[in-house]
Structure 1
Amino acid sequence: MVRPTAGEYRVGGRVVLLAQDKPLYRTFRVADMLNFGRHTNLVWDQQRALGWLERFGVPLDRRCDKLSGGQQAQVALAVALGACPSLLLLDEPLANLDPVARKAVTGELLGEVAETGMTVLLSTHVVAELAGVGDHLLLLANGRSILDGDTEDLLAQHLRVTGPRADRPPLDGEVVHATHTARQSTFTVRGLLGPATPLDAPGWTVHPVTLEDVVLAHLKTSIGETGL
């Protein structure tokens, strides 16, 4: 929709975009939305769409504007999946769901990926949604890439080091982020030292990091502690 200034993309197969506003015809019943999807897509799998709604208990005879925000999100996902995409682009797809439903939807999406070979590109501000989901992470801040790579590799490259107040940790590596109190310093470091490797420095300990730790450390350094 916006002409790129450089670069290229190649996609083999069908591409489906589910935007953040979950576009639905509000006066349509859920069944009407599936019928609309069937008539506006060259490829359509009605059973796949129905199966998604059945798994989450969404009634077919209810108007879309009478559904909760979470149910509307499920209808939009059902229509997207019914179109049998090779590439599914999701913009904040779980924003209207409670934490339990988010986990359930994520699990079902991973099942769809495993079963069909579909690729999912997920854009989100909720870092917790990313844990255990993505194979590849692209982190953007101020319109530029600040972290890009295989998720497991990025986790293996980072660690957290805690010890006495200091300007730098007692090891080599890139200090991504640092916090200090009167007596203690904590550093998020990107390097080659694994979290199981002891430090030859009295009072210092090494800890593994989560994906959320890595993302927040890079964002805090790039855009500041208060964010955008």
Structure 2
Amino acid sequence: MNSPDRPVLEAEHLTKRYGKRTALDDCALAVPRGRIVGLVGPNGAGKSTLLNLTCGLTTPTSGALRVLGARPGGNLARVGFVAQDTPVYAGLTVAEHLRMGARLNPSWDGALARRRIADAALDPNARAGRLSGGQRAQLALTVAAAKRPDLLLLDEPAAALDPLARKAFLHDLVDFVAELGSTAILSSHLLADVERVCDHLIVLSGGRVRVAGDVRDLLTDGRRLEELVLSHLEATR
């Protein structure tokens, strides 16, 4: 049974190899509910691999991973995913994305989706291929969140956005998490974004978890989050 006190993501000795390359190496994690989690680390640290494992898009080489109390992929209706390129279908209109979401997801919240599209000033009749990068990101976030997931995964979704679009995206992310009562894991290499919205932190480097915990507890010595992260990354070089 999936207890409300049980972590949304639990990993023990989690390892993923691609041939001779080790993407994740003997990782242990316990991500609590109701947090916005910053997943940070340099390129090749294993961030995307961890999110793909969590979604069930790939399988571990060894170790155990539980997502919402079940094996990865066992609770797909309760997991929302926005990949790095904020995937939308260029030939479909905004409204067609919402209709497709309603057909594919039994817990689809049409009222939430329509309200968020209106708040983002997206034209329902506009084709996604003609939207700006920020608008596509807002559409992808809306489609993922309107599933009303318990866990929302975002793989560098705002990295290519200009500062204003990124700020709007992160603001909406915070609102979604609060409204849904869910947990979000935000992979990012932009530490300022993580510091702005995240209250739990996971630092990956060299395929290993270097630090994990609530930001408030990790920063008790008065350091900024950027200093904390960089100190751990420097220590692994």
Q: Please identify the structure whose Cα radius of gyration is greater.
A: 1
CA shift, 1:11, in A, is 0.6
Matched AA of 1:138: I
Matched AA of 2:59: R
Alignment check: 8 A CA contact 1:25 1:64 kept: yes
In structure 2, what is the equivalent of residue 195 of structure 1?
A: none
CA shift, 1:45, in A, is 0.9
The 1-side partners of 2:168 and 2:213 are apart by: 26
Matched AA of 2:236: S
Match of 1:211 among 219, 225, 229: 225
In structure 2, what is the equivalent of residue 130 of structure 1?
A: 194
Alignment check: 8 A CA contact 2:90 2:129 kept: yes
The answer as to 2:47 corresponding to 1:33 is no
CA shift, 1:19, in A, is 1.0
Alignment check: 8 A CA contact 1:18 1:80 kept: yes
RMSD over equivalenced CA pairs, Å: 1.7
- Which is further off, 119-128 or 99-108? 99-108
The answer as to 2:110 corresponding to 1:96 is no
- Which is further off, 89-98 or 64-73? 89-98
The 1-side partners of 2:185 and 2:83 are apart by: 12
The 2-side partners of 1:42 and 1:23 are apart by: 21
Residues 46-61 of structure 1 mapped to structure 2, 5 A cutoff? 46-61=110-125
The 2-side partners of 1:10 and 1:99 are apart by: 32
Please list every run of 5 or more consecutive structure 2 residues that lacks an aligned counterpart in the other structure. 1-56, 70-74
The 1-side partners of 2:86 and 2:169 are apart by: 15
The 2-side partners of 1:213 and 1:65 are apart by: 39
TM-score normalised over the length of structure 2: 0.68
The 2-side partners of 1:115 and 1:135 are apart by: 16
The answer as to 2:75 corresponding to 1:11 is no
Q: Deviations over 1:25-49 (max 9, x none)?
A: 1111111111111111111111211
Residues 37-116 of structure 1 mapped to structure 2, 5 A cutoff? 37-116=101-180
Matched AA of 1:3: T
The 2-side partners of 1:112 and 1:72 are apart by: 17
In structure 1, what is the equivalent of residue 44 of structure 2?
A: none
Matched AA of 2:200: H
SS at match of 1:156: coil
Runs of 4+ in 1 over 4 A off after TM superposition: none
SS at match of 1:140: strand
The 2-side partners of 1:214 and 1:85 are apart by: 31
In structure 2, what is the equivalent of residue 118 of structure 1?
A: 182
The 2-side partners of 1:10 and 1:80 are apart by: 17
SS at match of 1:103: helix
SS at match of 2:160: coil
Q: 1:84 to 1:27 in 2, by over 3 A?
A: same
Query: Percent of pairs identical after alignment?
Result: 42
The 1-side partners of 2:147 and 2:67 are apart by: 19
Alignment check: 8 A CA contact 1:73 1:96 kept: no
Q: Deviations over 1:169-210 (max 9, x none)?
A: xxxxxxxxxxxxxxxxxxxxxxxxxxxxxxxxxxxxxxx421
SS at match of 1:72: helix
SS at match of 1:8: strand
The 2-side partners of 1:100 and 1:26 are apart by: 23
TM-score normalised over the length of structure 1: 0.70
Matched AA of 1:59: D
The 2-side partners of 1:64 and 1:105 are apart by: 17
Matched AA of 1:84: R
The 2-side partners of 1:90 and 1:61 are apart by: 26
The 1-side partners of 2:178 and 2:80 are apart by: 18
Matched AA of 2:79: V
